[in-house]
Structure 1
Amino acid sequence: MTLEIEINNIAFILHNTGALYWPGKKMLLLSDVHLGKVSHFRKHGSAIPNNAMFQNFKKLDAVVKHFEPESICFLGDLFHSSLNKEWILFEQWVSNIRLPLLLIAGNHDIISPHKYEELNIAIHNEWILDGFLLTHHPETREGFFNLSGHVHPAVQLQGMGRQFLKLPCFFRNKNQMILPAFGEFTGTYVVEPQQEDIIYITTKEEVIRL
């Protein structure tokens, strides 16, 4: 379910949901949850079951229960679109979770910041913490290790014959790690790692370094 790694001599724990836990800060980092996406697509005629909107909240509850963090940082694209009925579910979740929440604004975060402020959620364009640069879009900046999202990285594995399997992954290079999308129904983008890059694939049961 988890895999412990080190980045710049600091311990992190990768979770198979795509979550990243920073034990030293007791902080949970999640990217691309895309709440509201199910309702958005249903509104435009997509045949998605109505109960699918609850899957993200179940995942959130499960990973919070597992790590018991003292704060949560969302690395962008927390809510997929404009306000819809999933915002009410989000308000309820925030009320129940009772943890400090911070959002690094992403390209899909178009809801007024005042709505987040009403829930005591801080919003920033980026956050620098102990030599780590937290952003939504991947960014290279000298002197910092970047933690980001946005890309929804995945790798395509080839089995015997012509079998292919596409799996989400944490994509890491010398100065950066891109988290997989945490949300359901988000889609993925197949990355092409170079020799020096590190890939941690996520399955329903575990995290595996390739």
Structure 2
Amino acid sequence: MLKKIFTAAALCLTIGFTASAQDAGGIKPAAGEVTAEVQLSLTGDNSTIDLGLNQLRGRYFLSPTTALRASFTLRSENEDLNDDFSRTSTFISLAPGIEKHFAGTDRLSPYVGGEISFSKLFANEENPFGEVEGAWSNGGGNNNVSNRNYFAMGLRAVAGADFYFARHVYLGVEFGLGFQYEKEGDVKVKPNSGPNTTIDGERGRLNFGPNVNSGLRLGFVF
């Protein structure tokens, strides 16, 4: 993982320093400017860096030190285990928040902030025994399910830093700590023969812990 991070950073910094040699003036965003960023997904073999578009984030700077932010995440998964099993899963999350930036250096902008998140997981399966709405089955013909649908709300504090390696272009890292309330939804099992069955959602649970983003954020100022 560290090798992937260093490889991604070296690649972006090389491009950035080449561009910055021709740039002068304001490097960091000013009041009224907007940033947009994507995720550098450090997956695959050690020589592969994927540009992940499953999470997008935008920020609007009220001042050089204060920014409103919103993150949107969309992940979709489709599995065809064989000709008889078909599974789908979709995760959607929206997280608005606010950031407070500090002086740092000419190129480094450290910040702290907070955000509220709203998340929803959808799941469905079709198998030789029927259909499962709201989860995946563990065997098809019974009520033992996994990957259950849920709704979650979270509140967390964040801290991170953006490094502007060229004018209005930056790499960022971030970690957070906070709470998340998660409530599983009902699951409907619809067999090809016999009555339908509903598995009631379990009681909601409250989780607390850290959240570390293992990837790098690549952003631009408009």
Q: Smaller-chain TM-score range? A: under 0.3
Bigger-Rg structure (1/2): 2
TM-score by length of 1: 0.24
